[in-house]
Every structure is written in C-alpha cells, then in structure tokens.
Amino acid sequence: MGPVSGESNGPFRYLPRLRHLRFVGGAKVGVCESTWFGDQRMTLLELIPIGTILALLTDQVLQTATAAKDVLIEKESFKALSKYLYDIEPVLKQLQLHELNDTQAARQALEFLKKDVKKAKDIVDKYKNRARFYLLVRCRNIVREIQDVTRDIGRSLAALSLASTEVLSDLSERMNRIHREMQKAEFEASQAQIRIVEKLDHGLRERKSDQTFANNMLEEIAKAVGVPIEPSEISEELASLKREKEEAAARKEKAEEIFLEQVIELLSHAAIDQEEIKHHYECRVQTIENYATQDESIKPLNSFMCPITRTVMVDPVSLCTGTTCERAAIETWFEFGHTMDPETHQVLEDFSLRSNIGLRQSIEEWRELNYCLKIRSAKGKLQSGDDSACDNALDQLQEVIKENPICKDWITLEGLIDIILLTVPSSHDRDLKKKALATLTVIIEGHAKNKEKVVEAGGLDQIVICLGRGPDISRAAIELLFELLHDGLKWNRSTCEKLKQKKSSIFFLVMLLNNEVMESAEKSEVILWKLCEDDDDTILSAAASSWYKPLIDRLSHGPESSRIYMARSIVKMELIDQNIRLLGDGVIHPLVELASRNLEAKDSAFSALAKLLSSRDNKRLVAAAGGVPLVIEQISSSRVPSIIVSECCEILENLTSDDGIEFLVDANGMHLALEAIITNLTAMLQNSHYSPNILKPVLRTLLSIYKSDQVISQKAIAATNGVSVIFSLLEDRDRQIQELALMLIYHLSQHEPDGVTSFLLDKRLATVVDFLEDGTRCEVQTAATGLLACLQSSEAAVNERLIQLNVLPLLMSILNTSNAEAKENVLRALIRFVDPTDVEMQRRVVKLGAYPLFVSILKSGSLTAKARAAALISKLSSSSFTLTVAPVRTGCWCFRAASFPACEVHGGICDVTSSFCLLKAQALPELIKLLKEHEDATTYESLHAMGTLIQDGSSCSAAKVLHEAGKLRTSTVQ
C-alpha cells in the first residue's frame, strides 16, 4: 500500500487505509495489509497491542477448529486438524494471561501462525459444502492439503515458542509437544476410498467406456459417500460434479477441469435409468432364448482366454505381435524377465501394451449372457420347492451380484425378490431361511429401487417374524432390516414408518437387545433409537417391552408436552417390581423437575412418582432429588387443586410405608421438621372438603410416622387437638377410614389409655366392636381389642353396653383364633367381666368356655398373656368357696347312698362351670410351672391365683393339695 495523501498530524505523516473494522475486547480495530508510520512501512500488527493480536488469533483458531468438525468427507482427517487447533487455543489464552513480551520476533511468529490458521480455515471452507462425488475423487488431494497445513501450523507454533522465552517452562514445553505431534501427523484417506480412486484412475488411463465398468464405478462411489443408487439421486450428484468442473474452469484450474471432465465422461456410460436397464436386460435375454432353462453357462471362445493364465480375461491388452493377454498377467510376465511373446514365443522388440477395447466388450457381453442364464436357472430352482435346489440357487445369485452389481437390477426384473420372500416362511430349513435373508440383503445393498420392491412385496412382515427365530436367523434378519431402512447415509423415513406399524416389530427388536450376537444387539438398538426419534407412541411401545432408554431420554430432554405425555403413560403401565426399579433409576429426577412446573406438569409427574415409590431404591432417589419438600409444599398450600393434593398424599404415604420417617429429608439428606408435617396432616383430617382419596393416605402416613417416632407424633397430634379429630373419623361412612382411624387411635391409646373411654361414645363403641368380627384383618382386630382393653372397668354403663353388643362371644372367638397381641388385649379386656363382685357376669364368661382357654394360654401363650390368664383365673377362683355346694346325704345312717366326692380344697361339690374351681379346670399344674420361669409378672399372678385356694379352715387341705402336686419346694409352700 502506498502513501495516502492528507495532512500531517504530529508524528503521523499518513493515516492508515482501513479495509474493515472488528470489535475485539470492546476496542474497534482496523484491519489492513500495511500502513505508513513516520518514514517506515509497517504492518498493522505493529500498531495493534500484542494482547489484542493474541485475542484475534485465539478467536480465529477456535472458529476454525469448530468448523473443521462439520466436514462430511474425510471426517477423520478434519477431526484430527480440529483436535490440534483445540489444543492450541488454551495455549494462546495462557500467553495472553502471562502478557507476552512485545518483540519483533513474537509479532513475526504470530503473523506466521495467523496466516497458517487462515490457510486451514480456507481449506475447511473450501471442502465444507462441496459435492460428495467431488470430495471422494479428490480425497488424496484433500488429505495432502490437511497434512501440509497441519505441519505448517506446528512449525509456526514452534517459532512462537522460541520467540516467547519469558513464558513459563511448562507452557513452553506444552507448545513444543504440540509442535512435535503436528510434525509427525500422518493423514491418509481410508483404504476403501483409495481403492475406489485407484480403480477410477486406472479406468481413466485405459479410457474404459463399457457400461459394466461405469456401473460398478458409480455404485462404489455412491456407496462410499452415502448416496442411494437411485436415478434422481445419482443424476443430482453427477450434476453437482459438472458444476464443480465449470467452477474449476472459471478459476482457470485447467488440470482439475480436465480430470473432472474425464470422470464425468466415464460415469456417464453407466445405466442409471430403469427403462434403459430393462431394455439392456431384455436384449441379453433374447440372445439366450435358445438355451435350455437348466443351462447355466456358455463356454467362452478361445480368443477370450489368456495364453498365460488360461482363464477368461478381464482387462485384455494387445502386444506388438497381436497376441492378447490379461494385463496383470503380462505385466508379471515381464517383471520375471521374459522378453518373448507368451503365445508365439517371438522375441518382443516393443513392450508397450494397448487396451483391446473390442475384445473386452465382447468378453463383457459373454459374461452378461452367463449372468442371464444363471439368473434364469436360479429362478427355476427356487420355484421347484426343493430345499437343496433353492440353496444352490441362492448361492448362484450371490455369486453373480458379487461379479457384477448390475445383476441386482436383472434379478428384480425376473421377479426373484417376490420368489425369495416366499421361500422364507415356506421352508422349514433354518439354514435356508438364513441364506434367503442374506441373499436379499445382498440384492438390496445400496439399491434404493430394490429396497422399495422388498417393502412392496411384504418383506417387512417376514423380516419381523424372523427377528424372533433364534440367533442365526435373527442375525440375518436384522442385517436385512438395517440395510432396508437406510438410503446411503440417511434413513428411509417411509420404511421406518411402515416398520412402526408392524405390531410386533418393537417387541422383537427389544428382545434382540439381549441377543448373544453382539452385532445384532447393536444394530437393533440403533434401529430402535431411530424409530423412537420424535415418536412418543413408539417410545411407549418400547417401554411396554421393558426398554426404557428412549422414554427416559424423552422425559429428560423432550418438549414439555412430550414429557407430560411420558409421565402420564408411566401411570398406565403395568410394571413388575424389577421394572419399577429400572425405570426409577432414570425417570425420578426428571419427574421431580417436571413436578415443579405448571399444574398439568405437576399432575402427571406426581402421579408417576406415586406409582414408582413401591421400590425402596426409588424412595431414596426421590429424596435425593429434593422431591419430599416439594410434595409437602403442595399439601400445605390452600391454593393447590385437590387432585394434586391427593397425589402428593399418596406419595407421602408410599415414602413412609415400611420406612417411617427415614426418607422425610431434603436434597441434602437433612431431616425435615416432623412436627410441622404432622400438624399439616392432622389439619387435613379436619377439612370437610377432602375426599376419602386424600384422608386415607393421610391417615396411613400419620400411622407410619407415629410408629417411627411416637414421642414427637404424640406431642404434635395433641397440640392440634388431633385425638378428637381422629376419634370422630370412627363415625365416617367409609369403612377403610374407620379402620385407619381405629389403628391410629389404638397406637395413641398405648400412651394415654385412660383417655379413651370419654371418646368412645355409643356409636363409636359399636364401630369398634363391629371390627372384632373381621378375623381376616389381624391388625384391625388387634386395634379393636386394644381399645376395649383401655376402657375403664369401673364404668358399669360401658359393661352393660358391651354385653348388649354381644362382645363376650367375639372375645372368646379371638382367643381361639387370633394373633398373640390380640389375645393379650382380649385377656386384658376380660378383666372387667370377671370381677368377683359380679358372679353372674363371671358365670357368663365361664359358660362361654373361657376357663379351658385360660388354661391353654398358661401352657403356650406369650409371657404377658400367661400373666393375664393367671390373673383372670385368680379372679374366678376367688369366687369358688362361695359357689361350692355341700354334698347332700339321703337314706338312714346304715343305708346311705355312696357319698359324692367332695373337692379336696373347697370341701363341697365343685366343677368348672358352677364353682369356677381351679383344681377341676386343671389349672394348678400350669400355675406351678409358671413359677419355674422366674418371671416377675407370671410369678406374682401365679402365686396370687394359688392363694385363692387358701382361706380360713382350708389352709391345711390346700397345702396338702399343693404338696401332692409335687411342684413346689417346702420353703415355697410355707
């Protein structure tokens, strides 16, 4: 840039001519090639602070690294370049932090690095959106350019390291390490791409123009870059290649223009139009019409045979003598030092080779005729129904396709896709089924039209069925399905939609996830993920088959409408315990997050959470996600709809069921204020607007909390007048609410038993007695007996009411059948009915068979039950002396009837029912046994019961009875 006219401004003789402006770190920076400062020509970099230069360069490196990741072809090479640039970016940032010294060497190194990064950016931009065919045929040039620019950047980085001697040693070492790696970097195109390009180069050198070679070349290129073998797609790619040629001409890049023109000319000989392919095939078929159906080949002409290999030639070339040989064979012949014609043995003076295009075309025509014969022969074998013949036919078809992909079209024209599809379900030979599926895979590979044909012929139905036919068949089926669903590098949306409509497809694909063949499992998962993409119903179908990954992903990252739909669907699922745990691992956290949103989201999320909390692991996950405070917040708010309150109450019930207060914690694991929770729950019981769906889980939660921490629970319930509220629920019309209230009252009464009587009014008492009859609910029956045991025995009106309610037979029945705790409660409740001051009441009890039951409990009851049974026997026995009847004598003194045996202790006629005699009930031996147990409770009651045998005038006889029982030491009797 030359001087710019203008006025002098102090030391600045000229103003810089700016091309454009950029903002860097808030400062507006001019960008230009150079300017004049004083009498010297200077670059703009000499005017900009070095820190700003580093910021600009860092930004440029990051942009280039990001863009390099998005190039479709030679992804590995561009990915490696991107990785190196990402490694450089933090180094440049560190140089900014260390305030790199502003030296000429440093500025020059930055200038070099800036130019090299710009070159890399230009390469990325150059190839980012180019035609796919072009990128493949130029892959070696692309790789070479990437390698060169990578090494250039590495050298510039090394120069910067040398120019930055003041930086820390570790940063310098890091720069040098990156430099070494970039210098050693070797970039290569994939072997598959190199093979295609070399084959293409060979075709261009030999000026091959036959259709078969062009077809093969076109198919290989299309497959490599992911373009479906479909006329419209191929035509579009060829048009893009022509545009690349025109652009090269416009850039005056003659070599590239000529190369692309040759490639286009070669590929234009390929038959991509179906009508053209059909016409070509029909011409070949007409030629072989005179051959028998079973014929599979036409013998080659002698001119087709190579004189060296004695096989049919593929690439015939002529010598100066006129002899024609296979190119590879004659080249090897010369390499071994032969200088004569291999057929005539004439010494060669010219070793040049000329392609024999005419002969090559004749050989190709002969091959195509043989393909037609084999295809026709295979069709006859498949239609024969013989498994062995069918197996051979499938081998033939795979062979001809391997030799020439054009046979894929010819096989379809012969209708063999439909015939092979019929072989799959009709054959009982598993190996034949597998081979039929494999053959179909070969036929449709990279061929869009054939894929459509398989789908149209009902192939999806057969494939889906085969997915569940064992490892070998399912592997072949999943290979075929995977190929069927792809159009090059893209998915065939239409076929995917049709597959979803097959009811069992998702089930079988999920089943294959556990297949012993890893490749089958991996492809099944890839297909499933694609089918589930943006399709909530398919996601739920997969979940119904116990594969939850898409559901979890959708619930975590999908749009809110889908997340709500997923949550609602979880509620409807039928889940076993194992699946509840599996599902919980992934969905708990997103459900808790969803529950913090709008009302619709809350409703669906809380419903799902309630269902998943049957698993203890899931309870822990909800607590860890901070879900418990959120739940309590909902039930504490007066503005939350009842449906959400109901769901939250169910969650709270599930959290506390079997685990008490363990999971009533915040996200940090800190326990929440239990008193506040109980207060809120108790207040809810007083809300007349709440339905049983809310009251029941509230009562169950209170019950679980009470069992876990009785002291705090008792205090909190009492503080809110909760006892009277809970007692009032005994009058509720809902039987379950009555049961729950009864059980909660029972637990509360264990601490304040004296307060029960005042709350159990007439109707409530009848409710409690009513629950005694339900022997199927042990816990409820225990609670009912426990409340009766708490009633004050001094209340005569209560006794009378209990008799009216026919409670005694019910209590006796429970003694016969119920659990230990209920029996203990019954024995305690019966104390009121055996008071010695009310002999008639005692008689009622004894007539119901109580005495034998008491004795039985002395033998096998719990410690508490034994003590209470002994106490009851003691009260009954204390009435025996007054109830014993003296024996009556009849007749004169010499003719008196034999005397009736009198009781040894009571001296009269005794039995169990009339005098409640302890001896007649066989209770004494059991009472004596209790003394040997050395338990205070049973010892006291046993001694007290035995003491009832001793009254004035009976002590000697009682002592005698006890002595004869042989169960007490003399000291104990005394």
- How sure is the predictor about 641, in pLDDT bands with cuts at 50, 70 and 90? very high
153: pLDDT strictly greater than 70:
yes
**pLDDT at res. 433:** 93
More confident position, 723 or 962: 723
- How far is residue 188's CA from residue 140's CA, in Å, rounded to a whole number? 8
How does strand 34-37 pair with strand 354-355? unpaired
- How far is residue 196's CA from residue 213's CA, in Å, rounded to a whole number? 12
Rounded mean pLDDT, 446-453: 87
**pLDDT at res. 8:** 36
SS (H, E, C) 518-558: HHHHHHHHHHHHHHHCCCHHHHHHHHHCCCCHHHHHHHHHC
- Are residues 702 and 682 in contact, defined by beta-carbon separation less than 8 angstroms? yes
**pLDDT at res. 13:** 28
**pLDDT at res. 29:** 39
- How sure is the predictor about 970, in pLDDT bands with cuts at 50, 70 and 90? very low
**pLDDT at res. 33:** 41
Digit-coded pLDDT (tens) for 878-889: 998 888 877 665
Q: Which amino acid appears at position 529 of this protein?
A: W
Q: What is the dihedral of CA 585, 589, 595, 598, to 10 degrees?
A: -120
Mean pLDDT of the chain: 83
Rounded mean pLDDT, 457-476: 92
Rounded mean pLDDT, 373-387: 91
- How far is residue 890's CA from residue 500's CA, in Å, rounded to a whole number? 104
**pLDDT at res. 2:** 38
**pLDDT at res. 718:** 82
- pTM score over 0.75: no
**pLDDT at res. 1:** 36
Digit-coded pLDDT (tens) for 283-313: 888 888 877 666 778 999 999 999 999 999 9
**pLDDT at res. 69:** 72
CA distances (Å), origin 451, targets 229, 363, 468: 10, 31, 22
**Highest-pLDDT range among 147-156, 162-171, 174-183, 687-696:** 687-696
141: pLDDT strictly greater than 90:
no
- How sure is the predictor about 56, in pLDDT bands with cuts at 50, 70 and 90? confident
Rounded mean pLDDT, 501-520: 91
565: pLDDT strictly greater than 90:
yes
Rounded mean pLDDT, 166-170: 63
**pLDDT at res. 711:** 86
**pLDDT at res. 644:** 94
- Are residues 781 and 815 in contact, defined by beta-carbon separation less than 8 angstroms? no
Rounded mean pLDDT, 63-85: 77
- How far is residue 491's CA from residue 479's CA, in Å, rounded to a whole number? 15
What percent of the chain clears pLDDT 70, i.e. is strictly above it?
89
**pLDDT at res. 909:** 86
Digit-coded pLDDT (tens) for 324-358: 999 999 999 999 999 999 999 999 989 999 988 88
- How far is residue 737's CA from residue 263's CA, in Å, rounded to a whole number? 86
**pLDDT at res. 169:** 67
Digit-coded pLDDT (tens) for 720-739: 888 888 888 988 899 999 99
595: pLDDT strictly greater than 90:
yes
- How sure is the predictor about 773, in pLDDT bands with cuts at 50, 70 and 90? confident
252: pLDDT strictly greater than 90:
no
Q: What is the dihedral of CA 217, 219, 220, 224, to 10 degrees?
A: 140
